[in-house]
Amino acid sequence: MPAGLATLAASIPDGALLAIPADYGGVAMAATLELIRHRRRGLRLITAPTSGLQADLLIGAGLVAEVETAGIALGEYGAAGRFRAAWAAGTITVKDATCPAIHAGFQAAEKGVPFLPLRGILGSDLLAERPDWLVIQNPQADTRDPIVLVPAIRPDVTLFHVALADRHGNAWVGLRRELITLAHASARTLITAEAIHSGNLLEDPWLAPGTLPHLYVDKVVAAPRGSWPLGLGDRVPADEATLARYAEATRTEAGFAAILGDWLDG
């Protein structure tokens, strides 16, 4: 395990509000395993806007106290077994959300405002479960016009994986523009990268538009295959056989312990 990954994981404290991307959005799996090795406790996950393998691993390993999410599942492989078991047992707190509400929360933090208004969740049962989502009268309307205020989400740490970063700390996110929003919203941003670019990404006219500037990045660590067994866009294919094996094994606590042990040893 590269020393840089250990340092990166060690910088995430117990109890941190940790933002993680969806399985399709650049998941830092090598860093996640290193975080499990460090046995962090009481993490509060916020998924952007959903998660799967990463959240299931962290929950199954006992690192998570709370998760706010629009959904946690293993995609075509079915339910996330360790998340489902922990929720049923009451060992974690789950804050139900929606994709638009989570994105709005990050955007509010990015803009430095306490909330953003959102209309699409009016009438949802979720409003009864989320007292922090306030329904008010639109102050700009002359007639009755309710609107929901979604509070800003300000993570302590955002963690994700990219295909390319450079020695200056710039990171190319490509089409995954939501990662830039996460970095803007977070107190700190930690990134692993498949490769380190020899030049300056911001000086490349083709790569600069999809690049997160180093001003928003606290640490970059090279981690080839750092998303395994998940894929990374078109560049790194997912290990479908391993994902299927994980989904099957982790229906039980013993199966999860076995496969996690193998991954940590490997």
Query: How far is the C-alpha of 228 from the C-alpha of 213, rounded, in Å?
Result: 25
Contact criterion met (CB below 8 Å) for 193 and 223: yes
| Whether the predicted pLDDT of 2 surpasses 90 | no
Encode pLDDT of 89-100 as tens digits: 999 999 999 999
Domain spanning 3-97+154-226+236-257: which superfamily? Glutaconate Coenzyme A-transferase (3.40.1080.10)
CA distances from 218 to 47, 94, 200 (A): 20, 29, 17
| Whether the predicted pLDDT of 50 surpasses 50 | yes
Q: Is the pTM of this model over 0.75?
A: yes
Region 4-18 average pLDDT: 96
More confident residue, 235 or 261: 261
* Residue closest to 69 by CA, chosen among 43, 30, 97, 90: 97
Region 181-186 average pLDDT: 98
Region 9-27 average pLDDT: 97
Average pLDDT over the chain reads 96
Query: In the prediction, which pLDDT does 3 show?
Result: 60
Contact criterion met (CB below 8 Å) for 104 and 151: no
Domains in the chain: boundaries: 3-97+154-226+236-257, 115-147
| Whether the predicted pLDDT of 1 surpasses 50 | no
| Contact partners, residue 194, CB within 8 Å, separation at least 6 | 161, 162, 163, 164, 222, 223, 224, 225, 226, 227, 232, 235, 236
| Contact partners, residue 104, CB within 8 Å, separation at least 6 | 116, 118, 150
Encode pLDDT of 192-244 as tens digits: 999 999 999 999 999 999 999 999 999 999 999 999 999 998 888 999 999 99
Residue 249 CB neighbour total at 10 angstroms: 17
Half-sphere exposure of 13 (CA within 13 A, CB side): 6
| Whether the predicted pLDDT of 152 surpasses 50 | yes
